[in-house]
Amino acid sequence: MKVLVIGGGGREHAMVWKIAQSRKVRKIFCAPGNAGIGKVAECVNIKADKIHDLLNFAKFEGIDLTVVGPEAPLTLGIVDLFEKEGKKIFGVSKAAAELEGSKVFAKELMKRYNIPSAEYKVFYSPIEAENYIRMKGAPIVVKADGLAAGKGVIVAGTVEEAVDAIDLIMRRKAFGDSGSRVVIEECLKGEEASFMAFTDGETVVPMASSQDHKRVFDGDRGPNTGGMGAYSPAPVVTQQMQERVMQEIMYPAVRGMKQEGIPYRGVLYAGLMIGEDGPKVLEFNVRFGDPEAQPLLMRLEGDLVEIMLACAEKKLTPEMVGWKPEASVCVVAASKGYPGEYQKGMPIQGLDEAAKVPGAVVFHAGTADRDNRVVTNGGRVLGVTAIGADVSEAISRAYETISKIKFDGMHFRKDIGARALKRT
């Protein structure tokens, strides 16, 4: 088979790495890819949101399966477009992508199908939103309705902060049309975890649990990022908790979408807050998490291509998906200044040395080839991922590996996985 992977981050490198292990696959293309992906797949210079160009490429090359990494092409309707032309593709339809693309849609679905989540109200007018915030008091959470590159959620510790968030989102339109509606919700307490499942619209097969580290600095301080690291499994998700998440959240969500006339086929991602009264949904995503995919795919047993084809063809069975008993950890190396303004084009040293550490893989995120050298090309540059007998061994390996790598301005968190260590 010829497979086309869409995207060019750490998640997509991990997908390409896993897809390359499939016996079904003869050749992999990736659009646009990155320097690391280019070692395993042929990179194609088409951006992930150019869905018509991607279709033309897939037809021209005779691609057998297209796999979508990021949310943007999904919300633009790439799956509908490919399927109309009879091209096989793994991902959710445009209508189903609303689960991530609109917080209001997600909250209403959860309400209709009794899926546990924070109490909320939707506002179309800034004045009414501000009055509600003053009535409720802080802490309180303000969310722009639409996609906002991970920046549209403000967990406000004070009423002033929440009112400022309304001004930013609704009056100053910091996220454009994404801010024409806001969700204001109760601030939940507990420990966060990421929970994903494969589904063909009927059968729902859980993935191993994982946990992301969103803040830029150690000890969960500093601004939010796309994710500075992740590990799997997350000890907070016990076997019993996994069963509750499946029964209370994943099955009702997939069944609910079907009942709404929007079959859901692909990856369903629930960002959870696990507190005293059980798991509650913070957000749904319609794709693999990044960087959660890196440690998860390292633990996946089974043929990812077979699983993805089965999702697209409504033939998914639980036996297709297995997990290595080991733990895995991904530490992200970021550019100086990230998540703010950062520089690009810094040469990266030590990648060959790092590749020699057993049990570790350096997934590339923001990298490019320049004159036969690998240079930085994004905020998150590398996802150094390792597997080990337990989380402690995986952490040591990941940090041993990253210690061999250098680029100007490189920074990374030193405490990835620390919360799991504390629990075990």
> Which spans of this chain sit near ligand AMP (rule: CB under 6 A)?
118, 141, 153, 155, 185-188, 192, 214, 271, 282-283
* Partner whose binding site includes residue 187, from ligand GLY, ligand AMP, none (CB under 5 to 8 Å by kind): ligand AMP
Q: Is the dihedral of CA 276, 278, 283, 287 positive or negative?
A: positive
Cβ 83 to ligand GLY, closest distance in Å? Answer: 25
Phi, psi of 299, deg, nearest 5 = -95, -10
Which residue number, 110 or 330, has a Cβ lying nearer to ligand GLY? 330
The minimum distance between CB 99 and ligand AMP, in angstroms, equals: 12
Q: Tokens 């806001």 map to which residue?
A: 182
Q: Using CB distances below 5 to 8 A depending on partner kind, what does residue 290 bind out of ligand GLY, ligand AMP, none?
A: ligand GLY
Q: Which one of ligand GLY, ligand AMP, none interacts with residue 118, CB within 5 to 8 A by kind?
A: ligand AMP
Treating both helix axes as pointing N-terminal to C-terminal, what angle do 10-19 and 304-312 enclose, rounded to 10 degrees? 100
* CB-closest chain residue to ligand AMP: 283
> Is the distance from CB of 31 to CB of 48 less than 8 angstroms?
yes
Nearer to ligand GLY by C-beta: 332 or 405? 332
> Can you tell me which residue has the tokens 């959860």?
110
Q: Residue 63 gets which letter from DSSP?
A: -
Q: In terms of CB distance, is 3 or 230 closer to ligand GLY?
A: 230
CB of 414 vs ligand GLY, minimal distance in Å = 19
Tokens of 277: 């009264």
Question: Which residues in this chain contact ligand GLY in the complex, by CB under 6 A?
Answer: 212, 227, 285, 289-290, 292
Nearest CB to ligand AMP, comparing residues 186 and 400: 186
| Phi and psi, residue 95, nearest 5° | -65, -40
Distances (CA, A) of 387 to 195, 362, 396, 400: 19, 12, 10, 12
Question: From the list ligand GLY, ligand AMP, none, which binds 153 (C-beta under 5 to 8 Å, kind-based)?
Answer: ligand AMP
How do strand 65-68 and strand 2-7 relate by DSSP bridges? parallel
Instruction: CB nearer to ligand GLY: give 209 or 285.
Output: 285
